[in-house]
Structure 1
Amino acid sequence: MKQVYKSKIDIWLLAVVFVPLVAVLLQVLLTFTWGLVALIAVIIAVMVYMFTTTKYVIDNNSLQVKIGVFEYTQVKISNITAVRKTNNPLSAPALSLKRLEVRYGKNFDYILISPKDREAFIEDLLKINPSIKTDV
């Protein structure tokens, strides 16, 4: 059974990313530098695409982290050892600081993600791998 969870998006992150871009776009519009206008418009379009398509897919024994058409990473759910809440600000395919740290593998690798519905996400993981430890 395939489950798709969209990433939670923090408003402050939208502001940090888009306010400077829009400010630069407005300044460039005033100088009529159309090449730069086009470049900044493309950058904004790519950012909007990334923000609106970041998702986490649970499919059989696989957790896939996708940003648009790109697969960021894939983890076997049977290899996941723990899931815990975190506010770790490290760079990650998570658009919110309300994150989950998903630990997997023998080397204690982890990935930070931010599904909108954290509880349902963890429940779906536990259905596949009930030995996952969690603090949620």
Structure 2
Amino acid sequence: MAYPLLPDVDQALVDYLKTRPALVPLHGGRVGTKLQSTATAVRITNLGGGQPWPWEAEPEYQVEWWGGTDVQASDLSRAGEAALWAILGPITGGRITGVSLPLSRLWSPDDTSGRPRFITQVQLRVNPEES
């Protein structure tokens, strides 16, 4: 039996956070899997996750909310977490059917640069289009 492919959730999450109207003024479009600058930015890291069924996956992500100041990082993390709760729905190749935040707004300034940063862990439940 062949099962449908699960969607590319990494790119869907980047695209989603990059285009949310409440976030764009805070991060200026700097969202990706690599840290893009010294300005406010969002970095997403895939942490793996479970796949309880061939037609369902539960990927987890670390989302880092970087700011030039503590206030910028805090504002971005609060707006970003609010946006994550609204990610449910269709994405290219499938749909997101569940979201949870096992870790919310962990204050974690960068050890090397001292730049302000908050960390969120988000778990998504996804299904391919055909399921």
**TM-score, with structure 1 as normaliser:** 0.26
Which protein is richer in helix relative to its size? Answer: 1
Structure showing greater radius of gyration is 1
From the two aligned structures, give the one with the greater strand fraction: 2
Length-normalised TM-score, structure 2: 0.27
